[in-house]
């Protein structure tokens, strides 16, 4: 009988279709997502799932729970790999989606977060996809364009930019310019 497991960066033997609480290590997640390219690698330059997740966290507002959910929203991909959204949404990928949902629920539980992503995190994810897609590819799906309006109306994007500016001392801001 074939053993279905992967060996993670920290040396854990993990069954990606049955991830357990003790299987999860933030170092494995960070390492794997940093090496996993978005858009199946079809970009002008590499963009990792980790970079995308940091962007989602940044766009998720000032609520720490939302920020952490944004950072971990694709964490299941550390164990299952990244599959493009359009393929993942196909009927043939139902088993993958179920495994991803189960893994993400376990990961969120491990870090004390609700398993269902907050709506602002979902909006931030769509916005981050649009930003990286439009900056990094010749074309971009129009469906993500409305997300920038959604985030702007909520004040999230403006709020995060204002918070970043306040953290930079006035003298430091002048030096950067």
Q: Give me the tens of pLDDT residue by residue for the chain, a chain 177 residues long.
A: 566 899 999 999 999 999 999 999 999 999 999 999 988 887 778 889 999 999 999 999 999 999 999 999 999 999 999 998 889 999 999 999 999 999 999 999 999 999 999 999 999 999 988 887 766 655 554 444 444 444 444 445 545 555 555 665 555 544 544
Structural domains of the chain in order of their starting residue, each with its CATH number: 6-176 (1.10.3210.10)
Helix axes 156-167, 119-136, angle to 10 degrees: 80
C-alpha torsion sign, points 155, 161, 165, 167: positive
This prediction has a pTM of 0.77
How much is the pLDDT for 145?
Answer: 43
Which has the closest alpha carbon to 12: 40, 31, 34?
A: 31
CA distance 154 to 157: 8
Percentages of the chain per state (helix, strand, coil), in multiples of 5: 65, 5, 30
Which run of H or of E encompasses 84? none
């Amino acid at each position: 009988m074939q053993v279905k497991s992967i060996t993670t960066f920290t040396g854990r033997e993990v069954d990606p279709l049955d991830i357990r609480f003790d299987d999860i290590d933030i170092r494995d997640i960070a390492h794997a997502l940093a090496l996993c390219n978005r858009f199946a690698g079809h970009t002008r330059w590499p963009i990792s799932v980790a970079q995308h997740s940091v962007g989602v966290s940044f766009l998720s507002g000032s609520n720490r729970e939302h920020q952490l959910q944004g950072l971990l929203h694709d964490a299941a991909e550390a164990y299952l790999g990244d599959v493009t959204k359009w393929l993942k949404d196909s009927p043939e990928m139902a088993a993958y989606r179920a495994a991803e949902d189960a893994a993400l629920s376990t990961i969120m539980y491990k870090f004390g977060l609700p398993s269902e992503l907050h709506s602002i995190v979902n909006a931030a994810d769509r916005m981050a996809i649009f930003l990286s897609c439009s900056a990094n590819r010749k074309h971009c799906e129009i469906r993500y364009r409305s997300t920038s309006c959604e985030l702007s109306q909520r004040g999230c994007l403006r709020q995060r930019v204002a918070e970043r500016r306040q953290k930079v001392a006035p003298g430091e801001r002048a030096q950067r310019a």
